[in-house]
Amino acid sequence: MTVGDTQRLLRAALAAVRDCAAQMETQAESLLQALPNTPMDEDLRANALESSARLKDTSGRVTFELALLQAQLDEDKADAASAVRTLASMDATMMDALAAVADLADALEKAAERDEEKERAFVLVIEALGVMLQGLEKAKAATETLRAGMPATRTRA
């Protein structure tokens, strides 16, 4: 693999993680706007709003870390191998935030099964989760493609 190929894969991975973080922020904002007026149990509402705020915070942290990584790469203070480790860490951070939303979706589904009026909250959360999971899968795949395209000795921690 040439240096140009590695740079292309690195740019693609950075873009995929950036897109995932942006989607996470967009979906979190949407949930924060919709959920306060959506019928649901108050304890689930508090959990949903907290999870949405956590998503927004996570997306902001990942976006900030991406900017730092990009600056380090631009100044030749980081190489592709360290970028892979950093991007993989960002992927894991976003996955952790989404795991909490998956648990919330399960609880909302159970509430919707008991009371049809509460189905809208479940639908909002599960649709947002689907969008975010698709973005995360693309980010993880791009990071893995970058890792696979590098010599094994350069990607070890």
| pLDDT given for residue 152 in this prediction | 60
DSSP character for 39?
A: -
Contact 17, 62 (CB under 8 A): yes
Mean pLDDT by 10 residues, the chain (157 residues): 82 97 98 96 96 97 97 91 95 96 96 96 97 98 93 51
pLDDT for the residue 1: 63
Could you tell me the pTM of the whole model? 0.89
Domains of the chain and CATH, by start: 3-147 (1.20.1440)
The single-letter code of the amino acid at 47 is: N
Return phi, psi of residue 40, to 5°. Answer: -170, 165
What is the structure's pLDDT at 156?
A: 44
Taking the C-alpha atoms of residue 130 and residue 132, their distance in angstroms, rounded to an integer, is 5
CB 16 within 8 A of CB 143: yes
Would you say 139 and 95 are in contact if contact means Cβ atoms under 8 Å apart? no
Q: What is the pLDDT of residue 154?
A: 45
